[in-house]
Amino acid sequence: MAALYSSQISTTEIELKYPIEIEKRLSDIEEVISSWPTKKNLEDVVTWMLQFDNEDFDLAFRIIKNLNVIGPDELNSALAISYSKLMRRAKAKKINISLKNTMFAAIGGASKSGAMIAYNFRLINELASANFLDEDSIKFIEAGEIENLVLVDDIIATGDQSAKELKEVAELMIPLGVKNIFVLTAVGMKDGIKKVQETELAEVFSALEYDEKDTLKSFDSRFYDGLSFQDRQDVFKKMSGYGGLGYGGIGALITFYYNTPNCTLQSVWGNRFGWIPLFNRVSGITGIDKHYPKLEKSKPPKKPAPEDKSSFTVFVEGKTDELFFDLLAEKYENFGLKTFDTISVGPLYSDKLLKSLGKLAKRFVIALDKDDPRKSRIESVQKIVGEDGYIEIEDIIKYADIDAIIKSEEFSKYFEREIFEVDETISTRHIEMRLIRKAPGSVRERNLAIIVDKFLDEDKIKSLVDAIKSKAEK
């Protein structure tokens, strides 16, 4: 045992004896925990640190020093920011979000904290309790009165669970009239956000977005400040002996005042084999999945929608296609129809969902990718909806004037000229990737809007517009 200290600790008023490596850091430790928005006893923090091997006390200190403890004020601010992002987005897309057509719900299963987050979210944004899904408000969904569903959570980590649940939610909700699904969180890991967005079922809004540099996975993280590259590797390897990097191997350094996400270092919240956690992780809070059994039995309103030949819906396989059709509808005056809707069902929709679409819209088609390699999938769709129930579409960029785009001032900066001299197919694919498919959300929207406004191939787009009108007439 190293030298002992015998000074008094003001916060505990108990004479404690610690190894010298802990003793000489006591004032630093106390300074760190005093900055946290939730109270933590110095003695408890030191007890947690003493579970590390003596030579790893620096590692323990690095953890508490870099731990992002989110208190109630920070959480409420983040939820308000996320909601503001959602409302700005809705306004830009001309989506009406009101107390009459929007429902909020906690996402997640029994181990999630979404229900509590939804409660905080309601209070901070001054929303009515009737707009949050419970045993009473579910009737509004069953009655087909809800067009917008906002799923609320504290954090998106890997995005795996959220993406999985989102698909289940869409399968239940779209046939009941829900047209737009949004996921709103206080915190989001960028890779996890991307995973959820790739479902093409929802838009995601997170106030605080973090990438690998905010975790232990990246050796560029400030967690490793002052260490050589070899030492950084050694520290990283040591984490496996202290429970590992948490769920998904993310290595996050985040905890909320009420709970710790499992993507955070397990040494912070784990309790296996007698380990004493620094911050606890709670479970047993239910989310929207609690209502699945009832929603499974729900059916669209008993009064079917009237056969309105002036209304038409196109179901597409992604949010990008949804935006493209919305822009076309605006440009071509709803294709001559009084009401034209585009709804994304995602690329991996089930036959069950497909069979339910007719209950949501009496007059509709589902848009299929003409070059989709899943031939059996296309055949299945055709069998379910019939010849008049689907329309084949090409990649968005094929409806554009490629030469005009390449020569334009708006887009010339995006392209590597030498690619276009090799193969037209490569250049077309390259253009779509750069301008649309791989572009950040706001950039993709801007580019699509410019393409629809200025660079459409009139012959090809006329063929698509005529096809839609023809389907609508049938």
Query: Could you tell me the pTM of the whole model?
Result: 0.76
pLDDT score at 136: 81
Q: Which residues contact 140 (CB under 8 A, 6 or more apart)?
A: 103, 146
What count of other Cβ atoms lies within 10 Å of the Cβ of residue 415?
16
Q: How far apart are CA 122 and CA 132, in angstroms?
A: 8
Cβ–Cβ < 8 Å for 471, 389: no
Q: Identify the residue whose tokens are 């071509």.
A: 332
Quick one: pLDDT at residue 108?
Answer: 60
Q: Are 222 and 66 in contact (CB under 8 A)?
A: yes
| Residues ≥6 apart with Cβ < 8 Å to 222 | 66
Rounded distance between C-alpha atoms, residue 2 and residue 96, angstroms = 67
Judged by phi (left if over 0) then psi (alpha if -120 to 50, else beta), residue 389 lies in: alpha
Confidence of residue 15 (pLDDT cuts 50, 70, 90): low
Mean of the per-residue pLDDT values of the chain: 83
Answer yes or no: is pLDDT of 306 > 70: no
Domain ranges of the chain: 1-63, 67-302, 303-473
Structure confidence by residue, pLDDT tens digits, 121-162: 877 878 887 888 888 888 888 888 899 999 998 899 999 988
User: For the chain, what percent of residues have pLDDT higher than 70?
Assistant: 86
For residue 107, the one-letter residue type is I
**Beta strand 180-189 with 148-156: parallel, antiparallel or unpaired?**
parallel
pLDDT band at 276 (very low <50, low <70, confident <90, very high): very high
pLDDT (tens digit per residue) in 398-426? 999 988 888 888 887 776 554 445 455 55
Per-residue model confidence as pLDDT tens digits over 35-78? 999 889 999 999 999 999 999 999 999 999 999 999 988 988 89
The verdict on domain 67-302 having CATH code 3.40.50 is: yes
189 vs 191: CA distance, rounded Å: 6
pLDDT at 11 over 50: no
- pLDDT attached to residue 246: 94
Encoded tokens for 9: 């600790």
What's the pLDDT tens digit per position in 174-197?
888 899 999 999 999 999 999 999
